[in-house]
Amino acid sequence: MDSFELAVGDALAMPVPRAAFFDELLIALREIWEVPVVAQASQSAGHGHWVRAGSVAAATAGAVGAGAAWYGFKRRHRRSGVA
Amino acid sequence: MRADAILADMIDMTADLDDETLAARVAGDFDAFAELYRRYLCPVYRFVRSQCPDESTAEDITAQVFFKAISSASSFRGEGSYKAWIFRIAHNSVWSWRNGRARSVIAVEEVPETVDPTPSPAAQAITQEGRGQVWRKVAELPPAQREVVALRYLQDLTVEEIAEITDRSRGAVRILLHRARSKLRSTMDGKEVG
């Protein structure tokens, strides 16, 4: 890369995520990995168990799980007044 | 569990593994995902922030990217790099947001507030103000050009990888890069950056 391209890359590298955001998102990701989040998906599939995000089963219901978890994260994020 | 406790659990267990090995372990090992998160949060956030107008939106989109990454981890089959895979999720998330908001131009006054105070050694001659000027010029590019510029010069991805991520031909990516470079050079030439 020439100096012009390096200058562009360096300018775009200015933003850094807030430390609190890094921590909160990691905790939320840990929760959705550990905790059942898509009960409705498993019920509609006729299974009597929860589907865990991060599991093979969750792959088919991943969008539902990610969506539910994201909205939960967003609610907490907004409530804590950091967004 | 606190974030530092999560990270303390994984120290030395995963740091030496490559991205693709870690990705293959995510379904049964959260530490593998946490290591990928540690490696990619900043690159993904910076890419997303370069495509949207403020920190709050960038945080929302970045969170979506990682929720999708963990919930669809099994769809990564190691056919390409993990970096290209997660940036494809980021690309899709940014365009979903963009289509929803029908925005085409970043508000140019929105230069990042939370910035890395240590520029790369190659760019240390450029002042913070100069970096802000370059940021604004990139922000004024059309979205597709802005995106390929960020993937090429910020993430150091190849034209082939950018084509895969953005679902464009290599020729189309080269044209977008050429037009973006020409536009940036024409607006920045003759102006002292810094």
Domain residue spans of chain A: 17-79
What pLDDT, on the 0 to 100 scale, is given for residue B157?
A: 95
Beta bridge partners, A52, equal A36
> What's the CATH number of domain B1-103, 1.10.150.130, 1.10.1740.10, 2.60.120.580, 1.10.287.1080?
1.10.1740.10
What pLDDT, on the 0 to 100 scale, is given for residue A60?
A: 41
What is each CA distance from A5 to A44, B39, B152, in whole angstroms?
52, 23, 9
Identify the weakest region by mean pLDDT among B88-97, B98-107, B119-128, B133-142: B119-128
- Compute the mean pLDDT over every residue in chain B, rounded to the nearest whole number: 84
Mean pLDDT value across residues B182-187: 88
**Confidence at B139, pLDDT banded by 50, 70, 90:** very high
**Confidence at B114, pLDDT banded by 50, 70, 90:** low
Q: Which of A16, A52, A56, A76 to mutate to test the interface with B (most CBs of B within 10 A)?
A: A16
Helix (H, G, I), strand (E, B) or coil at B126: coil
Identify the weakest region by mean pLDDT among B10-14, B142-146, B186-190: B10-14
How far apart (Å, rounded) are the C-alpha atoms in residues B130 and B146?
18
What pLDDT, on the 0 to 100 scale, is given for residue B32?
A: 92
In chain B, domain spans: 1-103, 104-194
The model's pLDDT over B38-97, given as tens digits with 9 standing for 90+, comes to 999 999 999 999 999 999 999 999 999 999 999 888 888 888 899 999 999 999 999 999
Say whether residue B156 is in contact with chain A using an 8 A CB cutoff.
yes
Beta bridge partners, A15, equal B115
Share of chain B above pLDDT 70, in %: 78
Q: CA of B172, closest CA in chain A: separation in Å?
A: 19
Say whether residue B58 is in contact with chain A using an 8 A CB cutoff.
yes
User: Count of residues for chain A?
Assistant: 83
How far apart (Å, rounded) are the C-alpha atoms in residues A73 and B10?
23
What is each CA distance from A80 to A20, A39, B116, in whole angstroms?
11, 26, 25
Comparing CA positions, the residue from A77, A80, A52, A79 lying closest to residue A66 is A52
Share of chain A above pLDDT 90, in %: 22
Query: Does residue A83 carry a pLDDT above 50?
Result: no
Alpha helices of B50-142 — where are they, by DSSP H?
A: 55-71, 82-101, 128-139
What pLDDT, on the 0 to 100 scale, is given for residue B22?
A: 92
Are B6 and A27 within 8 A, CB to CB? yes
The residue in chain B having the minimum alpha-carbon distance to the alpha carbon of residue A25 is B63
Are B123 and A10 within 8 A, CB to CB? yes
Domain B104-194 bears CATH identifier 1.10.287.3510: no
Mean pLDDT value across residues A62-82: 58
Partners of A34 on chain B (C-beta within 8 Å) are 30
- Compute the mean pLDDT over every residue in chain A, rounded to the nearest whole number: 66
Residue with tokens 């540690």, as numbered in its chain: B38
What pLDDT, on the 0 to 100 scale, is given for residue B127?
A: 72
Of B7, B116, B126, the CB nearest to A16: B116
Q: CA of A42, closest CA in chain B: separation in Å?
A: 15
Comparing CA positions, the residue from B176, B153, B173 lying closest to residue B163 is B173
Comparing CA positions, the residue from B153, B158, B111, B146 lying closest to residue B131 is B111
Are A4 and B184 within 8 A, CB to CB? yes
Are A83 and B75 within 8 A, CB to CB? no
Please give the DSSP secondary-structure letter assigned to residue A58: G
Residue with tokens 């037009």, as numbered in its chain: B179
Please give the DSSP secondary-structure letter assigned to residue B169: -
What pLDDT, on the 0 to 100 scale, is given for residue A53?
A: 43
Are A15 and B33 within 8 A, CB to CB? no
Say whether residue A62 is in contact with chain B using an 8 A CB cutoff.
yes
Please, are residues B155 and B43 in contact by the beta-carbon 8 Å criterion?
A: yes
DSSP calls for A8-46:
HHHHHT-B---HHHHHHHHHHHHHHHHSB--HHHHHHTT
The model's pLDDT over A8-20, given as tens digits with 9 standing for 90+, comes to 999 999 999 999 9
Higher pLDDT, B191 or B113: B113
What pLDDT, on the 0 to 100 scale, is given for residue A44?
A: 44
Share of chain B above pLDDT 90, in %: 58
